[in-house]
Structure 1
Amino acid sequence: MDLIVTLHKDAPAKPAQGQPCNGCGLCCAVTTCPLGRLRFWRMNGPCPALTWDDKATRYVCRLATNRLTRRWIGAGIGCDCSLPAG
């Protein structure tokens, strides 16, 4: 069964796994991180915290508001999404 995820038309292309995050939004559209699971009581995506930022033309997380929450979800560490984009 194929998984179909709809993202904003201006979203950047998914980077290769391990490369810096560019805000493509695929990972959060598919699953919910541990912080989102606690906050929203859901396991699968799309995460309600995933928000499109028109000015930055990228997706951002509304939960990653400080250094501790960004560290907990791994924001800025690198792409950990192994799904192919296509």
Structure 2
Amino acid sequence: MKPSGVQHEVIWLQSEAPLKPKAGQCCNGCGVCCAASPCPVSRLFLWQWRGSCRALEWHAQARQYRCGMLLRPAHYLSVLPVFLEPILRYWVRRSIAADVACDSTVEVDADISA
């Protein structure tokens, strides 16, 4: 029997991505939080309210997911003046607490054999 209020949804991530840390542990670039739902930055600037964030970028060499709005905001916001990029990056880093700690309460079942 499924507990009431529990949602199950499938998110697709690279198999080389690190496993999701527990909430409160150091962020490791697993991508689960952004693949599960868009953050406030995505909602505000990309007008995305559900689904995997379209600014979620896979970086194969590092084997980590990264926020495209943090790394290259002008790619996602074509009207952003170049001189505002550093300011937006700073604001995004603070808003999503990038590389600080996992704040996602999403529970992951990595069993893909089903």
TM-score with structure 2 setting the length: 0.70
Identity of aligned residues (%): 40
User: Counterpart amino acid of 2:92?
Assistant: T
Q: Structure 1 CA distance, aligned partners of 2:47 and 2:90?
A: 23
Where does structure 2 lack aligned partners over 5 or more consecutive residues?
1-6, 72-88, 110-114
How big is the alpha-carbon RMSD for the aligned residues of Structure 1 and Structure 2?
1.2
Tell me by how many angstroms 1:67 deviates. 2.7
Structure with more contact order per residue of length (Cα contacts < 8 Å, sep ≥ 6): 1
Tell me by how many angstroms 1:63 deviates. 0.7
Between Structure 1 and Structure 2, the one with more helix by share is: 2
- Which of 52, 56, 59 is the matching residue for 1:50? 56
Give the structure 2 partner of residue 21 of structure 1: 27
1:7 maps onto 2:13 in alignment:
yes
Moved over 2 A (4+): 65-68
TM-score with structure 1 setting the length: 0.91
Give the structure 1 partner of residue 70 of structure 2: 64
Tell me by how many angstroms 1:38 deviates. 1.4
